Amino acid sequence: MNDAKTVEPTYYNSCYRHGVDEKRRVQIPAKWRPEKDGVELTMILWPKHQAGNCLRVLPPEEMAKLMADIEAMPKGDANKVVLKRFIGSESVQVALDKGGRICLPDEMARAASIKGEAMLVGLLDRFEIWNPARYENVKAADAAFALEAFKMMD
């Protein structure tokens, strides 16, 4: 008989608005926390939205997939080294403290305009941390494209 516990995948869904304390710590929803202690998440300053920067947080398996995607790019593709340099220099490993919080590095929090409150937004396999006002703009823009995006699904 196998006593090994089956690890269920973590799905990052819903949105949560949480305070950010004076040490830049933000609470992570209990359902989003790694089952094992000491698991480090990768936090990346993500500049890919017209509304501005956010912080994208990837669990280890998603960071491994991101690295595999970058490594699969052709050696001569100039974007490969740019992505490696950018992600390498604009990311940090974070672990949850005993209270279920992560600390937002000062420079990253400033770049994403996060102070006082943060909006945690599930992306199913990862999550983002936004300035709440900035996220409202993102949410409105997403709503405009959602109908078209859902047409791509059966």
Domain boundaries, position 70: 15-150
The closest alpha carbon to 115, from 94, 102, 131, 103, belongs to 131
Q: What is the pLDDT of residue 2?
A: 54
Residue 75 lies in a domain: yes
Encode pLDDT of 30-78 as tens digits.
999 998 888 899 999 998 778 889 999 999 999 999 999 999 999 999 9
Domain count, the chain: 1
Residues 17-29 have a mean pLDDT of 97
Encode pLDDT of 88-141 as tens digits.
999 999 999 999 999 999 999 999 999 999 999 999 999 999 999 999 999 988
Q: Can you give the CATH number for the domain in which 112 is found?
A: 3.40.1550.20
Residue 28 lies in a domain: yes
Degrees (nearest 5) of the Cα angle 19, 125, 132?
Answer: 25
Query: Confidence band (pLDDT; 50, 70, 90) for 25?
Result: very high
